[in-house]
Amino acid sequence: MRLVLDAGVAIASLRRRETGHQAARARLRRIAAGEDVAVVPALFTSEVAGALARLGFAVPSIETFLAALTSAPLEVTTIGPKRALAVARIAMATKLRGADAVYVWLAAREGLPLCTLDRQIIARGPAACRVVAP
């Protein structure tokens, strides 16, 4: 299955007490095995790295996790000025934060489901794309 992977799913896969932890781990295993292909915006790795650092993960463990994550079949999409305007329209229409709107825009643009645990995306994203749990 091809899907847009929200950074929150990758983060939850490392946090045992996080809601959806087991499902997030299972999804990442499917991606690592090549059963699923994750489509992500270019900000994905920096978003994951920053969140893990804020949560207190050590830099070497974050780097190891990112190396494993990016060795899986990921399709990375960049966002230039024209695409940024499209993201802004999604942000305004859904009232989502900018980074969240990027994931929704990408899912809508590619016609793919957006895999997330984020409650705001779950509530507001379906106005623009299909939203699925890990």
Report the pLDDT averaged over residues 85-114: 98
Sign of CA dihedral 35, 24, 107, 111: positive
**Residues 98, 2: Cα–Cα separation, whole Å:** 23
Contact 21, 129 (CB under 8 A): no
Overall CATH class of domain 2-132: alpha beta
In degrees rounded to 5, what are phi and psi of residue 64? Answer: -65, -45
pLDDT of residue 81: 95
Per-residue confidence at 30, pLDDT binned at 50, 70, 90?
Answer: very high
Mean pLDDT of the chain: 97
Report the pLDDT averaged over residues 18-47: 96
Per-residue confidence at 72, pLDDT binned at 50, 70, 90?
Answer: confident
Report the pLDDT averaged over residues 37-46: 97
pTM of the model: 0.95
pLDDT of residue 47: 97
**Residues 76, 64: Cα–Cα separation, whole Å:** 19
115 pLDDT more than 90: yes
DSSP 3-state of 115: strand
pLDDT, tens digit, 9 for 90 and up, residues 73-83 = 899 999 999 99
Contact 4, 38 (CB under 8 A): yes
Cα distances (angstroms) measured from residue 59 to each of 1, 28, 52, 118, 133: 31, 20, 9, 24, 28
